[in-house]
Structure formats: C-alpha cells, structure tokens
Structure 1
Amino acid sequence: MGKTKMGRPMWSALVAGGAAVVFTGVAAVPAGAAEGGVSFTWVSVNGGKPIVIGVTEEVEVPASFRMTTKLKYDFGPTVFPYRGKPDTGDRLYSSVITSDCEVVDKAEGICDFKEWLYIDPRNVDFGNEDAGTWKTAARVFLAGDASDTDDKNLPLQVKRATRVTANASPEPVTAGKTITVTGRITRANWDTHTYQGYAGRTVSLQFKAEGASSYTTVKKATSSSTGALRTTVKATVPGTWRWTYYGNSTSGAKSSTGDYVAVR
C-alpha cells in the first residue's frame, strides 16, 4: 500500500468481476448526471450500519449503487470510504470486487452494481486512529486514462470490535439469595492486534426469565481498569443473565453469551 502526501494510509484497490458493459452512445451528459458525465445514485454501504472490525479477520462490507453514464469506461466503478479529499485523501479498503453491470436502461446508460469491499485489520497501515467517521465516494475509470470521482456525502462509522463475557454464580441458587454476576469487556486494539481491557465503560446487566423471549436491563455497572465487571442481584426466578455494551462512536456494541441460573 502507498501513502498519501500527509503520511496517512492510502489503501490500494483491486477491482475484480467481469468486464463492464460499455455504452457506445454519444458522450453527452445524461439526465441527472454529474458535470463529469457520470452520476452515482442509490449508494448504500453495509446497509447503513457501522463497520465493526476485530483484530485478525478480514471484514467483507457489502455495497450497492446505480451509475448513469453514456461515456465509455474500462475500469471500476467502485464506492469506497475516504477521509480528506475523495481523490487524494485516505481510502479505507484492501481490495474491492464489483459485479458486472445489471442493465436498467441501455439507451440512457443506467446500470446497477453490487460490490464487496474488504478491510483487513492486519494491514500495516491500519491502526486505532482509523476508528470513527469516514465519508463515501464513488469513482469510475473512463476510457483514455480519465476518471470521474463523486463525493456522495454519505457518512460511514468504522468501529473497533468489543467482546463481553458473563458468569453468574452460584448455580443453582435458592430463591431470595444473592447471586454474583461477573464478566469482562475488551476492545480490539488495531495497533497491537489484540483485545485489551476496556476501562470505564457503562455496561448493562440484563436478565431473561425462563420462557421469556427477550432480555430486560436490571442494573448497570462500570468496568474496572482491566475491563472487569462485577455486581450482585437477588435471585427470584430461573433465567439467563448477560452483560450488554451499547457501543460508542469508535467502538461496536456487543452482548455476552447468556449464563443460565436455576432457582430452587
């Protein structure tokens, strides 16, 4: 991967898929197209949900968009996250696969595309500073070494993955007695490629009674300097306990696996 002039990550693209459909009509700007003769609409990345990334697994991010143009093009098109400026700023992906054109209107040069964008947290240029808000741009490479890039003004949230564990004891317990629920919350560190204790987080203790279909928040606790969680509650009916963290602007939401406690 290269670097921008500012020394920040510039993720290189690898566009795959079949050959793009080439429209051979006049190179006039179609209705609704940008000044450069290409219009991108209906842009969606990850269904509008945050992109949550761990420390070792490459993440596949689905995207889709519509492109309208009567210009010839021979590479792309793609949509991608960026910071700074669409053409010269930081771009966040390790590779991209774009589908063939699904022709909507051949006469007007309208195509729908699906895309799969990949982000690998093990890349040397990827680090904790990449968590937060990114923008979305769309680009196509035109015949004759030209290109068209549009800023779609679509924010994307990129977040560090969290993990949460839970353990409730004793098991079983006598009705009316106290149980202790412990656990730990950790967060992906993209600089070290490990999960580390996430201190000072407000985490919800939730309970689902036996036979119930959903969890209810019982109380909240704050994680220690090592991410440890601990609280006590009275046992009344059998059911399952878990911890839930609702996330923030740079960290993903996560619930622990539930721990069932029988009450006698």
Structure 2
Amino acid sequence: MGKKLWRVVVAGGAAAVFTGVAAVPAGAAEGGASFSRVQVNGGKPVVLGVSKEVAVPTSFRVTTAHPVKWSMAFLYRVDTSNHLWHGIETSDCIVVSPSVCDIDETMYFEPGLYDMRNSEAGAWKVAAEVRFQDNSGDTDKKDLTVYVKRNSRLTVNASPEPAAKGSTITVTGKVTRANWETRKYASYGGRLVSLQFKPTGASYTTVKKVYANSSGALKTTVKASTTGTWRWVYYGNTTTGKSTSAGDNVVVK
C-alpha cells in the first residue's frame, strides 16, 4: 500500500481529448465525468507468479463535456489514493458520441518490477479516474471487486509403475505458492487438495481429498484397478490461484 505508479502509453502519442458540448451531458457526475461499463480481466482473478509479466485487459466508458488529457481504471483498497502498483497502457478515445468515449486499457503486473508484497494478494476495489486539460480531475469508485492472487503449483508421482491389479498405488506430490517478495515458490502447507483419476479413454473424476502437511507434501494410497492417469487439483482461495498437476499414468496389469 502507499505506492502509486502508472505508465500511460497512448496510441498514436496523443492523449484522448473529447470535443464535448457546452454543458455537462446527462449521466455525467458532479465532478465532471461519469464512468460505466467497467470491466477488468473479464471478471476473472489476476493470478501472478514470481517473474512473468501478466497483461490484464480492461475497458470502460467515460462521459464528460470537458477536454481530457488521459483517463484510466485502477485498483485500490482503503481509498483511491492507495493504488496497487502496476503499469497501465491506455488507448485513444474510441468515440461513441461527442461527449462519450470508450477506452481500452491494459494493466501490467510483474511482481519483481513493481515490488509487490505478499500482503497485496486478495480483494481489490476498482475506481476510474480522468484528468482534464485544465489539470482538474474526477475519480469515481465503482461497485466492482478484482482478486489479485499468488500462483500455486502442484507436482505428482504415482508408483509403482506398472502396478499389479489389486495392489496398492502410492500417490505423492507437493503444493507450493509464489512468494512475491523472495521471487521463489515456497511450500504451501495445510491445503485441501483433490486426487483425480482418469481411466484410459475417459474423463477425470475426484477419488478423494487429501490435506497437505505443513511442508506442502501430499501422500495417499489407492487400489490399482485399471490403467489410467492420476493428478492433483487445488481449487485456490481468495489470495491464491487454483492449479492442476501434470498427469502420471500407471499401467495396471
């Protein structure tokens, strides 16, 4: 919290400017503008690992009678002065009418570049801001929540391979989670993870659910009945994204 950064890169090198009417149009807020049709990432959470930049599509409509330097949607928690630190690239005005513009925006998140902290994972609110040519502005809070989550990972190993029919198969694995501060994945203990099985030529179904130990390790046993593939699935929470391991095929003879 308390960090604020945006990089406004406008197509064509010019800021969006509305050639508005003389009076504030119907629907514009008292501050000089109103925002509608705000969308961030299609309503899906923003899930971040430890290094890769993630581009998040964002769009909104702004209605105003005043010439505009730039406008953007952004994420905040306590109040609109506390932005989540990330890059923003905006489009020029896509003219709907003389006083209405649609804006296409991309939010860029990269934990290393933007010095993200683990405490910043979770729910964020959405606001939109416009800066007018006379350097005044307007900011509106929107009734919209975006979850920014730490990526999770799962591994799997099923053995023995092959297995005799009716014998015991041991399935192990580990669940880890991105640590934005160390730029590494760390054990994510205590998670409830689903063990799934897919017989050859069929679909996955959940066989049982297993809690990871304090080190994130997973271990359980099942009976070998038919050839197929085993995998782990973690469904995530408000701060952590869901993940699915690769599949491990075991031939049953």
Q: Do they superpose with TM above 0.5? A: yes
Residues of 1 paired with 2:69 and 2:4: CA distance? 21
Give CA deviations for 1:173-231 in whole Å, capped at 9, x if unaligned: 1222111111000011122111111111111000111111x311100111112111110
The aligned counterpart of 1:227 is 216
- Range moving further from structure 2, 133-142 or 119-128: 119-128
| Aligned counterpart for 2:79 among listed residues 63, 85, 95 | 85
Q: RMSD of the TM alignment (CA)?
A: 1.4
The aligned counterpart of 1:135 is 125
Deviation at 1:27, TM superposition (A): 4.2
- Range moving further from structure 2, 17-26 or 173-182: 17-26
What SS does structure 2 have at the residue aligned with 1:220?
strand
The aligned counterpart of 1:3 is none
- Say if 2:8 is the partner of 1:15: yes
With structure 2 as the length reference, what TM-score do the two structures score? 0.94
- Say if 2:78 is the partner of 1:44: no
What SS does structure 2 have at the residue aligned with 1:47?
helix
What SS does structure 2 have at the residue aligned with 1:36?
coil
The answer to whether the 8 A contact 2:17-2:93 is kept is no
Return closer, same or farther for 1:44/1:155 CA change in 2, 3 Å cut-off: same
Return closer, same or farther for 1:64/1:124 CA change in 2, 3 Å cut-off: closer
Residues of 1 paired with 2:162 and 2:79: CA distance? 59
Return closer, same or farther for 1:83/1:179 CA change in 2, 3 Å cut-off: same
Deviation at 1:125, TM superposition (A): 4.0
Deviation at 1:50, TM superposition (A): 0.9
The answer to whether the 8 A contact 2:115-2:181 is kept is no
Residues of 2 paired with 1:244 and 1:24: CA distance? 53
Deviation at 1:21, TM superposition (A): 4.1
Residues of 2 paired with 1:25 and 1:58: CA distance? 37
Residues of 2 paired with 1:124 and 1:141: CA distance? 24
Give CA deviations for 1:125-170 in whole Å, capped at 9, x if unaligned: 4211101111001011101111111101211111111110111111
| Aligned counterpart for 1:244 among listed residues 220, 226, 233 | 233
The answer to whether the 8 A contact 1:20-1:73 is kept is yes
Deviation at 1:120, TM superposition (A): 1.7
| Aligned counterpart for 2:86 among listed residues 90, 94, 113 | 94
- Say if 2:25 is the partner of 1:30: yes
With structure 1 as the length reference, what TM-score do the two structures score? 0.91
The answer to whether the 8 A contact 1:25-1:70 is kept is yes
Percent of paired sites with the same residue: 55
Residues of 1 paired with 2:72 and 2:237: CA distance? 29
- Say if 2:46 is the partner of 1:56: no
The answer to whether the 8 A contact 1:9-1:125 is kept is no
- Say if 2:97 is the partner of 1:105: yes
The aligned counterpart of 2:110 is 120
The aligned counterpart of 2:146 is 156
The answer to whether the 8 A contact 2:20-2:65 is kept is yes
Residues of 1 paired with 2:85 and 2:158: CA distance? 41
**Mind listing any 5+ residue stretches in structure 2 that lack a counterpart?**
none
Q: Given residue 114 of structure 1, which amino acid in structure 2 is its aligned partner?
A: D
Residues of 2 paired with 1:21 and 1:225: CA distance? 52
The aligned counterpart of 1:66 is 61
What SS does structure 1 have at the residue aligned with 2:73?
strand
What SS does structure 2 have at the residue aligned with 1:129?
helix
